[in-house]
Structure 1
Amino acid sequence: MAEPNKFGDVASPQQEEQKLSYLQKLWRFRHYLVVEPILVLYLSVAYWNSIATRNFPLEKACRVNLHFNVPTCIAILDKGNYGIDCDPFEAQLQNVTIQGPTPEELLVDVASPLFNFTVCKAEVQAQKLDADVNGIRSPIGAIFPLIILIFAGGWADKFNKRKPGMIIPIVGEVLQNICQLISAIYFDTISFEFGSYAEVIVPSLFGNTTLFVMSAYSYMTITTPEEDRVFRFGIFSMVVTGLSFVGLLSGSLLTLIGYRNCFILSLVSQILAILYIVFFIKEPKPQTKAKVEPTATAPHTQNQAVDNLAYETTNLDEVPVNKNFQLNPQLTPPRVEPPPVPIRRNLCKELFDPTLLKQLIYFPFAKRENNDRFILLMLILAYFFTVIAPVTEDTYQYLFALKKLGWNGEDYSVYGSVGGGLAVLGTFIGTTIFSKILKISDSIIGMWSSVFITASHFVFAFSINSWMFYLGNVFDMFASLRVIPIKSIGSTIVADDELSKMFSFFGICEPIAGFIFAPIYSLIYTSTIDSFPGAFFLFSNIFIAPNILVFIVIYIAMRRRPVKDNSMELAQKNGQENSGRDNEITHL
């Protein structure tokens, strides 16, 4: 509660906020941090299981589909440990087809002179097979989240329900891990396509991580004041990127407990995440903006009875009195119509209501004040350009590290953890220093991020050794900032009852990007795997670099947008202008 000062005035919330130190402000944020435990239980699985989920399809493709022997298939995942260099065999491996081993290659062992060539051949064939399947499964897996997100945002806004959007994707991950566990138990019987397709398609049937992130951002936006949303989103992003440190354990964990136990551990963690949401997350109440209306009082009552001690002056509105009350001669109570009973419909009809689709399509084109419609369309374009690379690059970046740099799973897990630490640092600099302390606009932060991501992809593409790849990671430290400014700006120009529609529209961009560009990335990688495997990084820059111009346009549009006073500032302004004049006299 605000305390009065020596003059009897009450300190405003803004003044109290300014008195708090940075650590005190951070401590106050603990009440908002209810979503982060879900991240630890749900998304951390992707990091400690990262090497298992990447190596599993490659090893199965090599052993089950291509029929190479076990030593060869183990060696393709750790060429550096075996001292294998594939550069001398590049000419022989040009335009190699997926045909499996020859009878001689089938019998080779580590001591055989043909072993190195066989490993390089098996690696190329397994990676091509994996890339081909990835090019097919990604568009299929993008269709279902697209359909769900079209309706989920409007449904969440209509019924003010965010918890289902966080629970349903985790259920999909549980089922996906069950499929992977079955594939691991029957390793030599079930082909790699079963686990590979299940890994993408089963979670997509339940909205995938995109639905979870949309619901989480919608939940945080409603439960966080507008002036703290950038900082709040930054904390969320830092936790997500900070979880990558768990990836340090992924290689050792796979070596220690194997594929089966990795998938069992994931199942336990995801079930705990579901229980946490059910019992500890409460549905948020939508924030209503207070409307401050000037009170009109008659001139002759302004100073009436000011010297009478039986009266006091307050700022309370006069309680309206019904002067037209009339008793009914028959003394019968007035007839009151009962409120209409809402029509109950089943969940499928409510979720897939065609009006929700109509509202979502109309949402970005609806007429808005000032130039907000143009800004929203630019934000959607920026988000689409932003998510193309993250949605499609990840698989091929790991294959690039195995093929070009000769890394193994542990090498890549260390690299991922270093990248996560740098991303946490970059997010902290962007949200805390740039946004919270220096008050730099969100659009400039978006420009800053796009410039560094563009530079990092040039370094990645031409990396020929480990230190160059790590240098690209340094330039990529602001990658986590690429979506925070977009969502922060959008939350300021969209009404609270449209937030889920906005985040749903942003979420739709991800499956659309996967549907369109996953086959293109697959084709680029399989076509350049022997000559220039980093070509897909340069292809990503075709979309990342123009984002710089998009953020410049957004910056100009936001500068031309008139600044609106919030309700608290408006109340203070009215209080200063009307002090001593709009006070109403009430009887003790």
Structure 2
Amino acid sequence: MGTPEEKPLKKDKTIKKKTFKEKLASIKENITVEPVLACYVVPSTLAKLATQNLSLDKACRVNMAYGDKICDALIARKGNLYMKEELAIQGLIALMESWKNVLLTAIPSVLIIFLGAWSDRTGKRKICILLPLIGELLMCLSNILNAYFFYELPVEVTMFFEAFFPAITGGWITTYMGAFAYISDVSSKDSRTYRVGVANLCLTAGGPIGSVLSGVLLQKIGYYGVFSLCSFLYLFSITYGFLCIKDPERIVTEKQNLNEPSGVRSFLKSFFDLKHVKDTVQVTFKNGPNKRRTKSILILV
């Protein structure tokens, strides 16, 4: 006979096994934003090489007016034969990339402060997740038009719209913010870490998949094929999101209901209220247990 200390170790804990149908139902119940994230990252990396080549192609043939022989060699990565021309094109692309990156970071950085505060007040996460996908879809459609009107539109127009549409819709940072906020709202404490892990898996696995396929697809189906495929994936993701993702239910108090803006002007005034910027900064640097403020500052640094 065992000692009292040994008895708990010998206890048999019977765990009820789920049936196959119950497992499928559980998977279906827990899948929400994951397909949207996968269909955001894959086409974005898939289109990256085609976008770079389109800009390089336009800079060479349209802006610099070099011949087909030189441009074909540069696109085929045989620039060692035409070093002077390659340096001239790289200088032009680098200039375009400098203001393109400013546009892609400055606008979303300002927008996310107001959008995040508005999403927290209203509980609307779906629009934060899907809005950047609409921007990416518009970017792909603009690239199709730029490929069609190849010699009519210079590289400046192409690269401007590559940055403009994603920037004004919030960019990847808005989708990530909305997705993880949504997971936090709808998941339990027991499943939250697991679901965040699955979401991160979709984000990290999608990149290599798109990168591996980008070169092959560009060679086989060209600009039209790649951008059309990416547009289809974005459209599928947006449609799925609108139909399958539901904003979490909120308990609205009478005071909140009265403060809710009714007209367009009232909405814009409430959305771009500078008080929310102040609140965001205060929350970031608010002192808390376990040296939270110090940790926040170190992360920012």
Same fold (TM over 0.5): yes
1:359 deviation in Å? 1.0
Post-superposition Cα deviations, 1:372-397, rounded to whole Å, max 9, x if no partner, equal: 2222333333xxxxxxxxxxxxxxxx
Post-superposition Cα deviations, 1:290-331, rounded to whole Å, max 9, x if no partner, equal: xxxxxxxxxxxxxxxxxxxxxxxxxxxxxxxxxxxxxxxxxx
In the other structure, the counterpart of 1:365 is 285
1:187 deviation in Å? 0.6
Residues 361 and 60 of structure 1: is their aligned pair in 2 closer, same or farther, counting only changes over 3 Å?
Answer: same
In the other structure, the counterpart of 1:466 is none
1:192 deviation in Å? 0.8
Counterpart-to-counterpart distance in 1, 2:183 and 2:250: 11
Matched, 1:283 2:238: no
| Counterpart AA for 1:217 | F
State the structure with bigger RCO (CA 8 A, min sep 6), 1 or 2: 2
Residues 122 and 16 of structure 1: is their aligned pair in 2 closer, same or farther, counting only changes over 3 Å?
Answer: farther
Post-superposition Cα deviations, 1:62-104, rounded to whole Å, max 9, x if no partner, equal: 111111111211211223xxxx583xxxxxxxxxxxxxxxxxx
| Counterpart AA for 2:33 | V
Question: Does the 8 Å CA contact 2:133/2:234 hold for their aligned counterparts?
Answer: yes
1:225 deviation in Å? 3.5
Aligned pair partner of 1:342 in 230, 242, 258: 258
1:27 deviation in Å? 9.7
- SS of corresponding position for 1:156: helix
In the other structure, the counterpart of 2:102 is 139
In the other structure, the counterpart of 1:262 is 226
- SS of corresponding position for 2:258: coil
1:28 deviation in Å? 5.4
Counterpart-to-counterpart distance in 1, 2:33 and 2:168: 23
1:214 deviation in Å? 0.8
Question: Does the 8 Å CA contact 1:73/1:122 hold for their aligned counterparts?
Answer: no
Post-superposition Cα deviations, 1:361-415, rounded to whole Å, max 9, x if no partner, equal: 211122323422222333333xxxxxxxxxxxxxxxxxxxxxxxxxxxxxxxxxx
- SS of corresponding position for 1:259: helix
1:167 deviation in Å? 1.7
- SS of corresponding position for 2:289: coil
Question: Does the 8 Å CA contact 1:32/1:223 hold for their aligned counterparts?
Answer: no
In the other structure, the counterpart of 1:38 is 36
- TM-score by length of structure 2 reads 0.82
Residues 362 and 61 of structure 1: is their aligned pair in 2 closer, same or farther, counting only changes over 3 Å?
Answer: same
In the other structure, the counterpart of 2:89 is 126
Counterpart-to-counterpart distance in 2, 1:147 and 1:16: 54
Counterpart-to-counterpart distance in 1, 2:76 and 2:194: 41
Question: Does the 8 Å CA contact 2:104/2:164 hold for their aligned counterparts?
Answer: yes
| Counterpart AA for 1:352 | F
1:234 deviation in Å? 2.6
1:47 deviation in Å? 2.5
| Counterpart AA for 1:368 | G
In the other structure, the counterpart of 2:120 is 157
1:31 deviation in Å? 3.2
Residues 160 and 68 of structure 1: is their aligned pair in 2 closer, same or farther, counting only changes over 3 Å?
Answer: same
Matched, 1:380 2:296: no
Question: Does the 8 Å CA contact 2:108/2:170 hold for their aligned counterparts?
Answer: yes
Aligned pair partner of 1:49 in 47, 71, 82: 47
* Aligned residue pairs, count: 278
Counterpart-to-counterpart distance in 1, 2:215 and 2:32: 30
Structure 2: 5+ residue stretches without partners = 1-12
Residues 190 and 169 of structure 1: is their aligned pair in 2 closer, same or farther, counting only changes over 3 Å?
Answer: same
Aligned pair partner of 2:64 in 59, 66, 80: 66
| Counterpart AA for 2:31 | L
Structure 1: 5+ residue stretches without partners = 1-14, 87-115, 288-338, 382-588
Question: Does the 8 Å CA contact 1:222/1:286 hold for their aligned counterparts?
Answer: no
| Counterpart AA for 1:273 | S
Residues 25 and 379 of structure 1: is their aligned pair in 2 closer, same or farther, counting only changes over 3 Å?
Answer: farther
Aligned pair partner of 1:219 in 170, 178, 182: 182
Matched, 1:178 2:141: yes
Counterpart-to-counterpart distance in 2, 1:350 and 1:269: 34
1:206 deviation in Å? 1.0
Q: 5 Å matches for 1:216-365?
A: 216-226=179-189, 228-243=191-206, 244-285=208-249, 342-343=258-259, 344-345=261-262, 346=264, 347-365=267-285
Counterpart-to-counterpart distance in 2, 1:215 and 1:127: 36
In the other structure, the counterpart of 1:198 is 161
1:253 deviation in Å? 1.6
Counterpart-to-counterpart distance in 2, 1:66 and 1:157: 49
Counterpart-to-counterpart distance in 1, 2:219 and 2:288: 57
1:34 deviation in Å? 1.3
Residues 281 and 220 of structure 1: is their aligned pair in 2 closer, same or farther, counting only changes over 3 Å?
Answer: same
Post-superposition Cα deviations, 1:41-65, rounded to whole Å, max 9, x if no partner, equal: 3322113223211211111111111
1:286 deviation in Å? 6.9
1:38 deviation in Å? 0.8
- SS of corresponding position for 1:371: helix
Post-superposition Cα deviations, 1:194-244, rounded to whole Å, max 9, x if no partner, equal: 111211122101111111111111111222344554443332222222222
- SS of corresponding position for 1:161: coil
Question: Does the 8 Å CA contact 1:141/1:200 hold for their aligned counterparts?
Answer: yes
- Aligned-pair Cα RMSD in Å: 2.8
- SS of corresponding position for 1:49: helix
- TM-score by length of structure 1 reads 0.44
Post-superposition Cα deviations, 1:91-136, rounded to whole Å, max 9, x if no partner, equal: xxxxxxxxxxxxxxxxxxxxxxxxx2x3x33222222211111012
Identity of aligned residues (%): 26
Counterpart-to-counterpart distance in 2, 1:122 and 1:374: 51
Counterpart-to-counterpart distance in 2, 1:285 and 1:121: 61
Deviates more, 1:187-196 or 1:251-260: 251-260
| Counterpart AA for 2:96 | V
Hey, which of these two has a bigger chunk of helix by percent? 2
Residues 156 and 228 of structure 1: is their aligned pair in 2 closer, same or farther, counting only changes over 3 Å?
Answer: same
- SS of corresponding position for 2:212: helix
Counterpart-to-counterpart distance in 1, 2:24 and 2:85: 52
Question: Does the 8 Å CA contact 1:167/1:274 hold for their aligned counterparts?
Answer: yes
